[in-house]
């Protein structure tokens, strides 16, 4: 229905089929971006209304968190209809208008596709649970109880407790890696795989430019339902789940990341390749073998385009040594792969608070992120310098937070509404009571306060994104670490003979700096302060230097 029109639009927009290599992608969490109809919840029309903000920021694409029909128990990640927009967010017509508006502004649209599970209110699950011999009986992961009535194995849910829920209608357990209301689809079933590929085709024909694939390594489970072994305490961490969650006590060998998943990813890539300029970003939730999985999932040109890792989404502070180690390990373990790096998203504490960064430190680390090899994902509000908001228990919405309160307060603190206007109690987000409270401390960081201030955080992000776009090495170049700390991180990005030297002072003290051997000069367009001396340069606290070589070859 939309195939010919969408292909024509793609051909006009995607001159570079590899646009995603080095792209800056902005994550929109629609519930909290902009409310257009006064119900206190953001929607698709609100995104359209704020498209000029995204265009001025200079991003290449937006990633929109789920907007499909859903009972919203996990706020859209529990899908009840893959082919429709939830009325809370608008209509299919609104989505088509959003695609058109974004493309008109040169912005691509990536949507969050949740394939590993559905809502328990999805018609597929209702039919599947009705009997053991209906046409969709094996569309979900069902298993008999042990003789004593206990679950089939020891698998755990990320949201706490066993990953199995008893269903009195079928008299069996079903698997749920997340909420009990989010039953896992059975990817060992041919019909399930075919149906999900048809879902992907439906949105490609509507004009989307790619998919962010939620929990992409959770698709396939071990058919034998073998128990996961325990994980030694020294290997337990909180990169996939909070440290208080017993999910971290297991080595998840069998409940996810199964080899059969690769065949499905190949079929998905083959489908995407029918459309020009499409990309895919797989979210790999894997603590022990993350980079190996990323390498497998992006191998060659017949798997995913890139993976979204968790290396910089954890609590571990990103020292110069750690950043260099992560990048070099990725080069070593996934040399032919492309990463998508992020510091914040809708599932973790905002990095400004998580790492306790000052305003100056936020800018320095943003400079690092936007200079790394790989695509960059910015989470809404990051460009304003938003910190984690406090949401009292009585206003908490997130089931994850309610489950582990108060030691883990959930994900609502990073999901509060975006402040557009500083002189309004709701920040211009809505005229009604917002679904989550507007953080009072965020109002002083509103877009209206920063938009025309050349010294603002927003202006800084615009400048850094423009700097990245001005130099191909920063978009598509290789990465070679030069200095790994303890206070300075420096590296060289190189592409087709052109080089950019990037150096960051990630400390509260001045640091002397010497450019590498060769013919370099400083890019004075970078939004940082540098002191020049007779012997080289001095970087004030939390400042950076960008050195250029062979600049004639770097013009884009």
Helix axes 359-371, 457-470, angle to 10 degrees: 20
d(CA 543, CA 272): 41
Instruction: Tell me what percent of the residues of the chain surpass a pLDDT of 90.
Output: 88
pTM: 0.95
Question: Would the pLDDT of 4 be above 60?
Answer: no
d(CA 546, CA 136): 58
**Catalytic-role residue among 78, 167, 214, 283:** 214
Least confident interval from 30-39, 149-158, 395-404, 498-507: 395-404
Nearest to 495 by CA among 442, 437, 542, 548: 548
**Which pLDDT score, from 0 to 100, does residue 551 have?**
52
Question: Would the pLDDT of 8 be above 60?
Answer: no
Q: List every span in the chain annotated with CATH 3.20.20.80.
A: 3-116+191-419+449-466
Asked if 198 is an active-site residue, the reply is: no
Condensed to tens digits (0 to 9), the pLDDT of residues 26-67 reads 999 999 999 999 999 999 999 999 999 999 999 999 999 999
**Which pLDDT score, from 0 to 100, does residue 13 have?**
65
Condensed to tens digits (0 to 9), the pLDDT of residues 171-191 reads 999 999 999 999 999 999 999
Condensed to tens digits (0 to 9), the pLDDT of residues 228-238 reads 999 988 777 76
Instruction: Tell me what percent of the residues of the chain surpass a pLDDT of 70.
Output: 96
Condensed to tens digits (0 to 9), the pLDDT of residues 389-436 reads 999 999 999 999 999 999 889 999 999 999 999 998 999 999 999 999
Do 462 and 57 meet the contact criterion of CB atoms below 8 Å apart? yes
Angle (nearest 5°) at CA 289 between 288 and 290: 105
Angle (nearest 5°) at CA 60 between 418 and 18: 150
- Collapse the DSSP code of 445 into the 3-class scheme (helix H, G, I; strand E, B; otherwise coil) and give the result: helix
- C-alpha dist (Å) from residue 210 to 38, 101, 115, 200: 30, 17, 14, 9
Return the CATH number of the domain spanning residue range 3-116+191-419+449-466: 3.20.20.80
Condensed to tens digits (0 to 9), the pLDDT of residues 97-134 reads 999 999 999 999 999 999 999 999 999 999 999 999 99
- C-alpha dist (Å) from residue 101 to 50, 83, 523: 10, 21, 34
d(CA 340, CA 305): 10
How much is the CA Rg of the chain, to the nearest whole Å? 23
Read off the pLDDT band of 3 (50, 70, 90). very low
Q: List every span in the chain annotated with CATH 2.60.40.1180.
A: 479-554
Asked if 214 is an active-site residue, the reply is: yes
> Who's near 21: CB < 8 A, 6+ residues apart?
338, 375, 475, 476
Read off the pLDDT band of 377 (50, 70, 90). very high
Query: How far from chain centre, in Å, is Cα 386?
Result: 17
Residue corresponding to tokens 């017509």: 93
Question: Would the pLDDT of 552 be above 90?
Answer: no
122 backbone dihedrals φ, ψ, rounded to 5°:
-65, 140
The CATH classification of domain 479-554, taken from the options 3.30.870.10, 2.60.40.1260, 3.10.20.30, 2.60.40.1180: 2.60.40.1180
Question: Would the pLDDT of 555 be above 80?
Answer: no
d(CA 88, CA 74): 14
Average pLDDT over every residue of 273-288 = 93
d(CA 418, CA 458): 13
Average pLDDT over every residue of 365-370 = 98
Question: Would the pLDDT of 241 be above 80?
Answer: no
**Which pLDDT score, from 0 to 100, does residue 550 have?**
60
**Which pLDDT score, from 0 to 100, does residue 445 have?**
98
Question: Would the pLDDT of 488 be above 60?
Answer: yes
**Catalytic-role residue among 198, 260, 274, 496:** 274
140 backbone dihedrals φ, ψ, rounded to 5°:
-125, 170
Mean pLDDT of the residues in the chain: 94
Query: How buried is residue 317: exposed, middle or buried, by Cβ count under 10 Å (0-12/13-18/19+)?
Result: exposed
**Which pLDDT score, from 0 to 100, does residue 224 have?**
98
Question: Would the pLDDT of 1 be above 70?
Answer: no
**Which pLDDT score, from 0 to 100, does residue 31 have?**
98
Which alpha helices (DSSP H) does 299-350 contain, by range?
320-333
Nearest to 459 by CA among 371, 335, 347, 363: 363
Query: How buried is residue 459: exposed, middle or buried, by Cβ count under 10 Å (0-12/13-18/19+)?
Result: middle
């Amino acid at each position: 229905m939309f195939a010919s029109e969408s292909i024509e639009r793609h051909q006009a927009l995607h001159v570079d089929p590899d646009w995603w290599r080095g792209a800056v992608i902005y994550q929109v969490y629609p519930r909290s971006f902009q409310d257009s109809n006064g119900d206190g919840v953001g929607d698709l029309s609100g995104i359209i209304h704020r498209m000029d903000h995204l265009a001025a920021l200079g991003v290449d694409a937006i990633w929109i968190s789920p907007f499909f029909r859903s009972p919203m128990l996990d706020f859209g990640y529990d899908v009840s209809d893959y082919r429709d927009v939830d009325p809370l967010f608008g209509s299919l017509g609104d989505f088509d208008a959003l695609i058109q508006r974004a493309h008109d502004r040169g912005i691509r649209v990536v949507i969050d596709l949740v394939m590993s599970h559905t809502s328990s209110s999805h018609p597929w699950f209702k039919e599947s649970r009705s009997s053991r011999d209906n046409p969709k009986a094996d569309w979900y992961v069902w298993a008999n109880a042990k003789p004593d009535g206990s679950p089939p194995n020891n698998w755990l849910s990320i949201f706490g407790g066993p990953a199995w829920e008893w269903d009195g209608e079928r008299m069996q357990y079903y698997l749920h890696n997340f909420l009990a209301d989010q039953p896992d689809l059975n990817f060992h079933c041919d019909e399930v795989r075919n149906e999900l590929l048809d879902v992907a085709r439906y949105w490609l024909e509507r004009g989307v430019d790619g998919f962010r694939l939620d929990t992409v390594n959770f698709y396939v489970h071990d058919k034998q339902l073998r128990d996961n072994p325990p994980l030694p305490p020294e290997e337990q961490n909180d990169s996939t789940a909070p440290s208080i969650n017993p999910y971290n006590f297991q080595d998840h060998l069998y409940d996810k990341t199964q080899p059969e998943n690769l065949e499905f990813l190949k079929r998905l890539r083959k489908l995407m390749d029918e459309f020009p300029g499409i990309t895919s970003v797989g979210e790999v939730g894997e603590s022990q073998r993350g980079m190996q999985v990323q390498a497998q999932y992006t191998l060659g040109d017949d798997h995913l385009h890139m993976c979204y890792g968790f290396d910089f989404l954890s609590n571990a502070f990103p020292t110069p040594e750690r950043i260099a180690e992560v990048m070099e390990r990725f080069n070593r373990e996934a040399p032919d792969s492309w990463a998508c790096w992020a510091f914040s998203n809708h599932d973790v504490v905002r990095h400004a608070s998580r790492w306790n960064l000052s305003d100056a430190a936020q800018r320095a680390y943003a400079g690092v992120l936007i200079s790394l090899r790989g695509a960059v994902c910015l989470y809404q509000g990051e460009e304003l310098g938003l910190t984690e908001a406090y949401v009292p228990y009585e206003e908490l919405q997130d089931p994850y937070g309610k489950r582990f309160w108060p030691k883990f307060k959930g994900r609502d603190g990073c999901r509060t509404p975006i402040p557009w206007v500083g002189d309004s109690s709701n920040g211009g987000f809505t005229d009604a009571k917002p679904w989550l409270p507007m953080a009072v401390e965020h109002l002083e960081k509103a877009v209206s306060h920063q938009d025309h201030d050349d010294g603002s955080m927003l202006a800084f992000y615009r400048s850094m994104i423009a700097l990245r776009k001005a130099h191909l090495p920063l978009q598509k170049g290789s990465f070679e670490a030069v200095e790994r700390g303890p206070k300075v991180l420096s590296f060289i990005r190189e592409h087709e003979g052109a080089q950019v030297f990037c150096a960051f002072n990630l400390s509260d003290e001045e640091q002397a700096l010497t450019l590498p051997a060769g013919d370099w000069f400083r890019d004075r367009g970078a939004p940082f302060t540098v002191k020049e001396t007779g012997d080289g340069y001095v970087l004030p606290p939390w400042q950076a230097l960008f050195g250029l070589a062979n600049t004639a070859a770097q013009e884009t």
